[in-house]
Chains A and B, each alone.
Chain A
């Protein structure tokens, strides 16, 4: 099927005329050892249809039993999202016919979710905070994985048949549903991305999910609607399914805002439907029509008994919660004395934990930041890796810094030392030795180089003699070049001024 390209309005024009409302359903796969209702392993990438039991296949006569750890992980997620935890909650069957579930229903929760009525603060890159209200978080199970065969593109359109792997069927999921998010205006796409990033960070921090979006551990359905400026009545929404990277979330929300605006501008109505996101064209195509009352014929799961909580259980789980990411950031920034901009850069570069470890290993926050934001980030960019993936340990930075502070090497040489260490040539001290990188500290060769540099630039030398001390940089540069960077620039400067009889 050839995708029909919808009309879109420019984002700016859309924002002049309309206010967006957002809503998210984020599915989080829990990292329990076993599935939600069976003792099959919860694994990724295993041989198809091996991580299954008769329960996962919905064979006749099987009886599901709830995984206690999955319930506790769900309660922790609820607590971390500021939710109330239901005293009593139960499972329900969501009935539908599709081969991704062999049972013809998904075991989920309907009218009594485990957690409800929460809120989290989402901080955007510039520090603006939006509060997103959480409607509910409920427990359910993941579906199997279908691969469509015979079609040209691997998509369902044109496929002749599908192959099903039920390894994922029954993996514990928590679905987190927001209330409508109003008032984000033109920052809606940015907020969308930040919200999903925050959920990912929270569940990862809790240790309840591996939270790897590329593996589908965190999946987002993004609801978008527009209302004319000044209106308070929510418009008709569309739900873009399975937007599974942070970048895609931002793009999909942007695109749907632009598409809705064009439809509304033309005088037509938005069709309430699901939309499929296509990363390649950065656009959505229509899925199936959707109504608020999708007829899933929910009914209470007769094979599972209710989950009943009490204060002692909840408080025990609450006491196990780690420090929330937002509070941890506040604490670290205060400890390190970074400015807002400095700290934000560190967070956005993904090196906050690395800096934390490096400071803990014994260097100052300023030195840790210099390394992670400077040389290591630069190398990461070139290698297309995360800075933390380069293999630079906090201990290595401590050693390099000690060599610099003792005057054995300078900043420039330390980069070469790092090269050597990463190439497996040994410890920093060994690399300095083996590569002959120690700073030239014997004044003899330095004075020779200084005389050479002064002779090469007599006009500069004259200026310095005349009192223009700042011109000394040009001579220092010449000396550093002559010594291939192996001189201590501070000492060189001192010697030049001495040579010219000028007070530093």
Chain B
């Protein structure tokens, strides 16, 4: 049973700013549903007594000292940018953001 329908895909595409055609939405809904179903089989193995985890190895408290290290120069920082001006990244004006 598919957990992902066409509406879900359209919603995700909007959130991810991906322009998708009607055919692509149909195809992706089918493909994602298969993936979600596959992953779901994990929960059949892991019972309620197994806590959710985001890391494969039980590691915690990895810190760095508060010491300044090497930084990029302004030129290096902007080197990969499609456009820049005045030492800064130049981007289109976007209205709908946070």
Contacts and interface: CB of A to CB of B under 8 A. Distances in A.
B21 interface: no
Interface string A145-165: 011101100001101111111
A307 interface: yes
- Ranked nearest first, the 8 interchain pairs of A and B with the lowest CB-CB distance are A39-B69, A98-B97, A300-B54, A68-B63, A163-B88, A69-B66, A159-B93, A164-B89
Given A50-B73, A308-B60, A156 B95 contact: yes
Interface residues on B, range: 35 or more
Contact of A33 (B68, B74, B91, B96): B68
Interface in A47-73: 47-54, 57, 59, 65-71
Interface of A: 32-34, 38-41, 47-54, 57, 59, 65-71, 88, 90, 95-100, 102, 146-148, 150-151, 156-157, 159-166, 288, 295, 297, 299-302, 304-308
Interface string B79-90: 010000111111
Task: Specify which of B17, B55, B74 lies most central, judged by the most chain A CB atoms within 10 Å of its CB.
Answer: B55
B48 to A, nearest CB: 17
B71 A53 contact: yes
B85 to A, nearest CB: 6
A34 B73 contact: no
Contacts of B54: 90, 299-302
B70 interface: yes
A165 B73 CA distance: 13
Contacts of B69: 34, 38-40, 53
Given A97-B17, A161-B91, A305 B62 contact: yes
Interface of B: 11, 15-17, 54-55, 59-74, 77-78, 80, 85-98
A308 B61 contact: yes
A52 B72 contact: yes
Contacts of A299: 54
Contacts of A305: 55, 59-62
A224 to B, nearest CB: 19
Contact of B66 (A34, A53, A161): A34
Contacts of A97: 15-17, 97
Contacts of A51: 71
A97 B14 CA distance: 11
Nearest to B14: A295
A454 B86 CA distance: 77
B62 A156 contact: no
22 contacts: A34-B64, A48-B86, A48-B87, A49-B72, A50-B74, A52-B71, A66-B64, A68-B63, A96-B98, A99-B89, A148-B93, A159-B93, A161-B91, A162-B93, A164-B89, A295-B15, A300-B54, A301-B54, A304-B62, A305-B55, A305-B60, A306-B61
Nearest to A53: B71
Contacts of A159: 93
Contacts of A48: 74, 86-88
Nearest to A38: B69
Contacts of B98: 96, 98, 100, 288
Contacts of B64: 34, 39, 65-68
Contact of B63 (A71, A95, A148): A71
Interface centre among A68, A300, A305, A308 (most CB of B within 10 A): A305
Which DSSP category, helix, strand, loop or mixed, fits chain A's interface?
loop
Nearest to A40: B71
B49 to A, nearest CB: 17
B73 A162 contact: no
A205 to B, nearest CB: 20
B60 to A, nearest CB: 4
Contacts of B94: 98-99, 162
A48 B59 CA distance: 36
B88 A66 contact: no
B86 A163 contact: yes
Contacts of B74: 47-50
A276 B87 CA distance: 28
B71 A47 contact: no
B93 A161 contact: yes
B16 A67 contact: no
A70 B93 CA distance: 33
A146 B67 CA distance: 27
A163 B85 contact: yes
A57 B88 CA distance: 13
Given A164-B88, A297-B15, A34 B77 contact: no
Contacts of A49: 72, 74, 77-78, 87-89
A150 B93 contact: yes
Contacts of B68: 33-34, 39-41
A166 B77 contact: yes
Nearest to B75: A49
Contacts of A32: 66
A160 B67 CA distance: 39
A306 B55 CA distance: 9
Contacts of B70: 39, 53
A99 B69 CA distance: 25
Contacts of A40: 68-69, 71
A295 B73 CA distance: 36
A161 B63 contact: no
